[in-house]
A and B are shown apart, each in its own frame.
Chain A
Amino acid sequence: MNRILKTTAIAAAVMGVVGVAQARDQVRIVGSSTVYPFASYVAEEFGATTDFPTPVIESTGSGGGARLFCNGIGEGTPDITNASRRMKPSEFERCVENGVTDITEAFIGYDGIAFAQSNENDAMDVTLEQIFLALAAQVPVDGELVDNPYTQWNEIDDSLPAREIAVYGPPTTSGTRDAFEELVMEAASEEMDAYGGEGYTDIRTDGAFIDAGENDNLIVQRLAENTEAFGIFGYSFLEENSDSMMGSSIDGVAPTPDAIGSGDYPVSRSMFFYVKNQHADEVPAMNEYANLFMSEQMIGDLGYLKGIGLIPAPEEMRAEARSAVENHETLELADLK
């Protein structure tokens, strides 16, 4: 009997340790891998300069983040999700279904997607349409949609060099890929009659587009070796590797911070994070973190995040976004449509 008691006690103790309720003064953040470098920079600053512990940030991708975020309210769910695109109406509806009704949207700035190559080559300026024709699975030839026949850039346009079409890019799980499909593929195909005015986003799978994995560094490394090829990756990686990489101008606009911030560079996207206001009482650090993120010293023209590749938004937009966060403005479904 004594033994049984002992065993039970030990088992209970083990379960006790395991089942310890999550004491949460630590903010939990999930979401986009594009926003991750910026968010973790702010998180670290927050941990180092306040008495709160450093928030934990998981890089789950925008979609994965929204799924975790919208699982409900309570200690087991994240407080903030980062997104490299706006929350989708379907995601918002799922949030509401699960009781996450009070969300504030925070707009933090822009990120550009570079179409780049090794700088051992001559610069090659392209248009959205040329990139589309090089990468789409089916392209119009004489008014008919056929499997993409192009193998060299000069077959698309005589002005382009006779180089083989080889493009390293992110996989379908990546937010960069989502943005690329929307900003390049859709934008270019909407104006082509052959697709009936609808966006066409299927990327060819015959080897010209090479899925290079989520890690942008890997794409940069492979471009350094395969100088014939192009790569699609975040602007911050282009900036950091400016000694070996060169970004192509798209529609005549070079990927510079100014051009990305003003929207002249066509492949730029907005970055957001979403705050679960219902957690404000249990996780007091959450709002402090959000306010630090929105402060001028972070996302401003001279902010720290600019140094690691964030493209700041114009001043009025920053002020507007900041006041939305400070006043905990509630996101409505109508805002997203």
Chain B
Amino acid sequence: MSQSFDEISAQLRRRHRKSARLKWMSMGALGLAGLFLVLFFTDMMIKGLPAFQQAQIQVEVDYSEQASQLPLAAVQEDVRPLVSRGYLRLIPGRMEDNAELLGTTRMEWVLADSQVDQYLKGHHTRLSDSEQEVVDRLQAEGRAELRFNTTFFTSGDSKMPELAGIASAAMGTVMTLLVTLAVSFPIGVMTAVYLEEFAPDNRFTQLIEININNLAAIPSILFGLLGLAIFINFFGVPRSSPVVGGLTLALMTLPVIIISTRTALRSVPDSIRHAAFGVGCSRWQVVRDHVLPLALPGIMTGSIIGLAQAMGETAPLIIVGMVAFIPDVAASFSEAATVLPAQIFTWAGEPERAFIEKTSGGILVLLAVLISLNATAVVLRKKFERRW
């Protein structure tokens, strides 16, 4: 049966229309995803950028005998509610350490209360009208201004928004990830090398493989329960510590590293192995000197992505006690610590309005770190990747 020219061209037009429609639909999907991303980023930026600035005011600090007992007495009555309590409460301690302060009066730039900070940023404030007038006066005299918020990066969590920072969480994240890396990288790579290069292909290894793939898809909170049962209850690892958090996240990261390492090993062509065997290398030499170095970029990329995933994780850490109020920067791996996403989670639940910007500010920092981690992974891949 032959088709007429008209029929064929109609069919062609239909097919072209279909493919054009598909193209528009996929572009629409991309556009929608992009739109959400832009919305999310703008929202975070608008809410979060103010967190990097903090109000300071210049006040007369009177280091009197009375102030060493009652720190409120150190500043004039009109600015008393405007000065951060976090600053005032340290005065007695400072006077004890520096005896020469006693009896002196100095003009000092001090941290302002978060309500002043919110007022200067044009947000809702609980300052009374008369207090707002004082702030306006100070500002007109150049004695109240927004400065770069170093506290946000140098101090730990606090109940006072003006004092709250990400230092302890950032340090906790670094320590936790170090433990995660130290445990999951060697074990993961070794497991993958065994499964890919040494293990026979039988029921048993297939079972292991299925289980590993399965583990990668398990909700992360289950790893937290496992961590609680094994590490804390059985081995007695201290609760809330980077060790227990790191070990728990290592369990979670292991499957990711194993799977990506196996993929990387598999992409090394057999001709390399055959050539090495041909000149008399042992299996171990083949793996160590040829296969592993060639697969390394892929392994690194997988591990970095696995770590980035672990870094953004909160659920399993709630169970092992790392989501808590921990202002002190941990000095050792067995001390209590928290991590960045946990810090963000904690701040999101605070009633004070000033914590909204801290929350978004923390998210911006976390995003920046994650983007640089993922960018490193891309760069590593681009730089060392070899195509066969």
Contact = CB atoms under 8 A, between A and B. Distances in A.
Interface of A: 17-20, 22, 26, 28, 33, 36-37, 39-41, 43-45, 47-49, 53-54, 56-59, 76, 214-217, 234, 236-237, 239-243, 304, 308-309
B326 A48 contact: no
Contacts of A236: 351
Contact of A56 (B124, B160, B324): B324
Interface in B122-159: 124, 126, 158-159
Contact of A19 (B89, B235, B325): B235
Contact of A37 (B90, B159, B321, B324): B159
Contact of A217 (B126, B247, B351): B351
Interface of B: 85-86, 89-90, 92-93, 124, 126, 158-160, 232, 235-240, 243, 247, 321, 323-328, 333-336, 348-353, 356
Nearest to B327: A54
Contacts of A240: 126, 351-353
Contacts of B92: 49
Contacts of B85: 304
A214 B237 contact: no
Mostly, the B contact residues are loop
12 contacts: A18-B247, A19-B236, A20-B238, A36-B325, A43-B325, A54-B326, A58-B323, A58-B325, A59-B349, A216-B349, A217-B356, A308-B351
A56 B159 contact: no
Given A18-B247, A215-B348, A215-B349, 7 more contacts: A37-B159, A40-B325, A53-B328, A59-B324, A217-B356, A236-B351, A241-B353
Contact of A20 (B321, B323, B328, B334): B334
B351 A37 contact: yes
Given A215-B348, A309-B351, A44 B336 contact: no
Contacts of B236: 19, 76
B196 to A, nearest CB: 23
* Most chain A CB within a 10 A radius of its CB, from B86, B92, B327, B351: B351
B179 to A, nearest CB: 10
B326 to A, nearest CB: 5
A26 B239 CA distance: 12
A177 to B, nearest CB: 16
Contacts of B348: 215, 217
Contacts of A216: 349, 351
Given A240-B353, A243-B124, A304-B85, A47 B239 contact: no
Contact of A58 (B247, B324, B356): B324
Contacts of A308: 159, 351-352
B349 A48 contact: no
B158 A44 contact: yes
B324 A44 contact: no
Nearest to B349: A215
